[in-house]
Chain A
């Protein structure tokens, strides 16, 4: 059965810390991996990763995909309280627009 597994399920760190969130996947006909940040309702798009080994960066956030080992990581450096959210990763199938989400990592940043 196809699945996306995120770890840890929850994480509490202090402002200024660096965090690494993990996402592993077992998906037939995998095409790409997505990262989203969900604060209240609407998840907001962070990254789409299609190629292995190429890091994508956006400010303090960065992400990389390893298609051989079937995982991705999301790094957040110099965390701020505004980074507190649920971070979701999702695998996109190549055959159509079906997406399978992980259960998310709930990140809490303490001032």
Chain B
């Protein structure tokens, strides 16, 4: 059974650019959530999608957005990149969220220069 797949593994972007990250959940999982992990702030919740609908959102600016497709794959977009956006971006999938364990992908390491 394939795990959660995130692509790309690494990204280097310059300030002002935009970036799109992809997450393919475990087959059958309908919930996908996104997190930003930095040494200073730890793991912070970005948003969660279930059946193509955003169910919850963390405290991040509107430059951070996401979407989920009918096959449960999810994308996260960050526009107008800032140096502080450099982080490990993790996604996690779950059957339906909340009462089920979350399985994390290996993440995308984004570096903004």
User: What is the interface of chain A, defined by CB distance below 8 A to chain B?
Assistant: 31-32, 34, 36, 40-45, 48, 50, 88, 90, 92-104
Contact = CB atoms under 8 A, between A and B. Distances in A.
4 smallest CB-CB distances across A and B, nearest first, come from: A97-B97, A101-B43, A103-B42, A98-B56
Given A41-B88, A42-B107, A44-B104, A101 B97 contact: no
Contacts of B88: 41
Contact of B97 (A44, A96, A102): A96
Interface of B: 4, 31, 33, 35, 42-45, 48, 50, 55-56, 58, 88, 90, 94, 97-99, 101-107
A104 B39 CA distance: 10
B56 A97 contact: yes
Given A42-B90, A43-B90, A101 B102 contact: no
Nearest to B31: A97
Given A98-B48, A99-B45, A100-B45, A43 B98 contact: no
A42 B99 contact: no
A43 B37 CA distance: 11
A96 B48 contact: yes
Nearest to A104: B42
A101 B58 CA distance: 12
Contacts of A94: 98
Contact of B102 (A34, A40, A95): A34
Nearest to B40: A103
B44 A101 contact: yes
A88 B104 CA distance: 13
Contacts of A93: 56
Contacts of A97: 31, 33, 48, 50, 55-56, 94, 97-98
B94 A42 contact: no
Max chain A C-beta neighbours (<10 A), residue from B35, B42, B44: B42
A96 B56 contact: yes
Contacts of A95: 56
Given A45-B103, A97-B55, 17 more contacts: A31-B98, A34-B102, A40-B106, A41-B88, A41-B90, A41-B107, A42-B4, A42-B107, A43-B104, A45-B101, A88-B43, A96-B55, A97-B56, A97-B94, A99-B45, A103-B42, A104-B43
